[in-house]
Amino acid sequence: MKLTLKQTSQEEAARLAMLEKMNLIRAKRNEGMTTYIVDKFPELKELKSLTFLGSFSWTSKATGERWIRKPFAFNIGAGWVTPSDIARDYIEAKFENKRLKCNKTQWSELVKTRKSQPLYAEPCTLPNAYYLDMTSAYWQLMMLGGWDVDYMPARYLSPRSTVYDFPVPEIKLARNCLVSMGLPSGVNIWVPDYGFAKRTPQKLSVNLVLWGFVQDVFHGVAYDMVNKAGAVYANTDGYIIPNDRMKDADIVAESWGLHFSIRNAGKATVRGAGDYDIGDKIGRRVRTVPRAFSYIVPRHHDWLRSKVKFWSKRIRLDLKNVSLQIEDIETDLEDRQ
């Protein structure tokens, strides 16, 4: 889609307004907190109070201290944040702490029968193959349907909003957290003189309809890549395709209206789930005996393919960060060490 100056100006204004709202939320959350940017987290024995242990950061509310691992620290205007902070602040700013509604049928179809990502492995060696990847998969599907997509298999796929006001789309982990934060999950806690504990907080960001939609697309595309394009390996949004079937893979990609790119190419050896070599990528080689694996569970995928194709006109992969480029963030981080 070619952008007009009017469209660009409107979207830039929307991203700037969203960034301002997010920074107000973050400034309030950071009140009284001291943040340390570290190469590695402190030793557990050094922690003297209850501490929340996350993948990107550790937080002790009692002492007002927070440690963020250096690769995951970003400053977008109101202090240091992690990718999950950015996603959480965006959801709160955009939807103002309103819980998404989920009807009984959606609950039964998408929540109660929640899927994990598709995984398929057909042990073999191919002299020439390609690793095909769905470009920015989570981001594409959120651009297509919005974070609050209304979806019911075989009945409706209705976008409710856009994510074009997300101010930092080039931070991939932050984009992906918009989807993963929709999953209910527990938090690991370190309690001095006791050890590890787990707490399941009440999350306003739970969105299993979005998760169900994303996984149904992944499973549908994987099914087509295996059965129509001869894929010998599929994992989430990536596929190993024999060289002589790439035209078929292009037809599959076109039928969904989604964007794909070649991540690697060359000789391919598939040994099992999560265990393969292709081109210059060498896998874990954990298996001495190859083992086939198949978990692809498409759901009304012919219907879904047509709907995704129709709404794919909403996808644009050309958006840039507002007011702040990734290089600037990294330079700022280096200057503060």
Q: How far apart are CA 219 and CA 241, in angstroms?
A: 16
Residue type, 241: I
**Percent of the chain scoring above 90 in pLDDT:** 64
Quick one: tokens of 123?
């042990």
Q: Which residue has the tokens 């990502």?
A: 117
Is residue 105 situated within a structural domain? no
Reply yes or no on whether the pLDDT at 277 is more than 90.
yes
How big is the chain, counted in residues? 337
CA distance 100 to 208: 10
Distance CA 314, CA 312 (A): 5
DSSP 108: I
**Residue 283, in any domain of the structure:** yes
In this prediction, residue 3 has a pLDDT band, given cuts at 50, 70 and 90, of very low
Compute the mean pLDDT over every residue in the chain, rounded to the nearest whole number.
Answer: 87
Strand residues in the chain grouped as ranges (E):
34-38, 51-53, 57-60, 65-69, 74-75, 80-81, 119-121, 124-134, 150-152, 156-158, 187-191, 195-199, 233-235, 238-242, 260-272, 275-278, 293-295
Q: DSSP labels for 145-165?
A: H-TT-EEETTTEEE----STT
The pLDDT of residue 8: 56
Q: Does residue 107 fall inside a structural domain? A: no
Q: Is residue 19 part of a domain?
A: yes
**pLDDT tier at 106 (50, 70, 90 boundaries)?**
confident
The total number of structural domains in the chain stands at 1
Q: Is residue 147 part of a domain?
A: yes
State which residues form the domain around 191: 5-100+117-336
Instruction: Identify the bridge partners of residue 60 per DSSP, sorted by sequence position.
Output: 65
Least Cα distance to 225 among 173, 294, 159 occurs for 294
What is the mean pLDDT of the segment spanning 8-25? 87
In-domain check, residue 32: yes
Whether the per-residue pLDDT at 54 is higher than 80: the answer is yes
Find, among 71, 92, 93, the residue nearest to 83 by Cα. Answer: 71
pLDDT at 329 over 70: no
Question: How many CA atoms lie less than 13 Å away from 193 in the CB half-sphere?
Answer: 2
Over residues 155-211, the pLDDT tens digits come to 999 998 899 999 998 899 999 999 988 887 778 999 988 888 888 766 667 788 999
Contacting residues for 275 by C-beta, under 8 A, at least 6 apart: 121, 283, 284, 285, 286, 287
Pairing of strands 34-38, 65-69: parallel
Quick check: 101 pLDDT over 90? no
Report d(CA 136, CA 224) in Å as an integer: 19
Cα–Cα distance list, 105 to 101, 151, 182, 211, 245 (Å): 12, 11, 19, 16, 39
Q: Is the dihedral of CA 335, 67, 98, 172 positive or negative?
A: positive
Predicted TM-score of the model (pTM): 0.86
Contact criterion met (CB below 8 Å) for 99 and 197: no
As a whole number, mean pLDDT of residues 253-273 equals 95
Residue 222 confidence (pLDDT):
98
Once rounded to an integer, what is the mean pLDDT over residues 273-302? 88
Phi, psi of 222 (to 5 degrees): -60, -40
Q: Residue 322 above 60 pLDDT?
A: no
Mean pLDDT of 119-142: 95
